[in-house]
Chain A
């Protein structure tokens, strides 16, 4: 299954997912409380340092994940530059980069299954209130299993378009793709019913 977890081993991989998430929350709050350019520069350097500990390859991968942020960095600098407050703009831009980079760091160093476990653990108090949390685990499994299946079928349909048209696929291909979702939902529901229905705790 394709996740954003990095294959490059880091010391952070060994840390418990729950601990990393807690640290991330605290650090993000801290970032949004800071407002001096000096503090922000220091924080950004610290984040960069965290990325460099496992090596250049890891740091470069982290940089790749920051691509969507640059548009907003430019936007912020532009708007705040126009209103004459470039210093504020720089603080915001740095904060943006640091916050996103820290969050990405947790994603890159935590396994999907470990994060799911943390979520289920976090939801466990609901069980005492009578809410069933097991269906969520099953729902996650279903979605993860069906995305590649649906993607394959979507690609077949796109091929069927390309086989008859030199132009790029039009929005109409979304209809049969949606039908795939509906029909697969029907088949899985049938399989569920055949296996005794929805009693899963």
Chain B
């Protein structure tokens, strides 16, 4: 009981830390911001409900004025801006990611996690994200989608990395992967 609570709190902190450290580099030299991976990890590791709670806790702190979004951004302003759809999408993405992860308990961790992360962390995330841009910027769905399309390859890589991290975490600390409990 206590451990579930502290895992939620510490994964909220983890999302922040993954956004605050300098960007990581892939072998090819491309830099990536790891914060999106943190959102996916909340789902793949903590499962649907707890993963979503961790993300909501994180967002709550951002709203309260802590500069925890990648690049040190935060405050109410980010919720008034055009990326608000993505922010709303974060906890939903974590929930769906976790939900898929929990449903696929029979499969090995890596393939389950990558499917969960791609569907939850990308597909499900971009829907409210793009709708948010449509509403705030009065763009068409096509225009908004095209604007966000360049980010998708990077997100696919992040989903793969999140899956690899989940698999490695399951080997090192199996009891911490609540989605498999």
**Pairing of A with B:** yes
A31 to chain B, nearest CB (A): 9
How far in angstroms is the closest Cβ of chain A from B5? 7
Chain A residue at minimal CB-CB distance from B82? A72
Q: Are A181 and B161 in touch, CB under 8 angstroms?
A: no
Evaluate contact between A171 and B24: CB separation under 8 angstroms.
yes
Q: Given A92-B138, A143-B57, A182-B7, are A103 and B80 neighbors across the interface (CB < 8 Å)?
A: yes
Give 17 new A-B contacts, CB below 8 A, not counting A175-B168, A182-B169: A4-B67, A68-B78, A79-B147, A107-B76, A140-B61, A147-B16, A150-B10, A154-B17, A168-B22, A169-B22, A178-B41, A178-B169, A182-B176, A183-B173, A189-B3, A192-B6, A198-B1
Q: Chain B nearest CB: distance from A81 CB in Å?
A: 12
B2 x A193 contact (CB < 8 A): yes
Contact A24 B76 (CB under 8 A): yes
Label chain A's interface by main secondary structure: helix
Cβ of A177: which chain B residues have Cβ within 8 Å of it?
A: 14, 17-18, 21
Q: Is A167's beta carbon under 8 Å from chain B?
A: yes
Main secondary structure of the interface of B (DSSP, over half): helix
Quick one: closest A residue to B161, CB to CB? A171
- Do A189 and B5 have beta carbons less than 8 Å apart? yes
- Report the minimal beta-carbon distance from B86 to chain A, rounded to whole angstroms: 12
Residues of B within 8 A of A76 (CB): 137-139
- Which residues 130-169 of A sit at the B interface, judged by CB distance below 8 A? 135, 139-140, 142-144, 146-147, 150-151, 154-155, 158, 167-169
Q: State the CA gap A193–B5 with chains docked (Å).
A: 12
Q: Mark B88-121, 1 if CB is under 8 A from A, else 0.
A: 0000000000000000000000000000000000
Can you list, as one digit per residue, whether each of A102-144 has a CB less than 8 Å from chain B (1) or not (0)?
1110111010100110010000000000000001000110111
Ordered by A's residue number, 27 sampled pairs between the chains whose C-beta atoms are within 8 Å are: A4-B75, A65-B75, A65-B77, A69-B81, A99-B80, A100-B78, A103-B77, A107-B65, A107-B74, A115-B65, A135-B5, A140-B64, A142-B9, A146-B13, A150-B10, A155-B21, A174-B18, A174-B161, A181-B17, A184-B6, A185-B9, A185-B11, A186-B3, A188-B6, A189-B2, A192-B6, A197-B2
Binding site for A on B (CB under 8 A): 1-3, 5-14, 16-18, 20-27, 31-32, 34, 37, 41, 45, 57-58, 60-61, 64-68, 71, 73-83, 136-139, 143, 147, 161, 165, 168-169, 172-173, 176
Do B24 and A104 have beta carbons less than 8 Å apart?
no
In the complex the two chains form, is A100's CB within 8 Å of B5's CB? no
Mask for A54-79, Cβ within 8 A of B = 1, else 0? 00000000000110110010011001
Whole-angstrom distance between the Cβ of B91 and the nearest chain A Cβ:
15
Do A181 and B31 touch across chains, with their CB atoms under 8 A apart? no
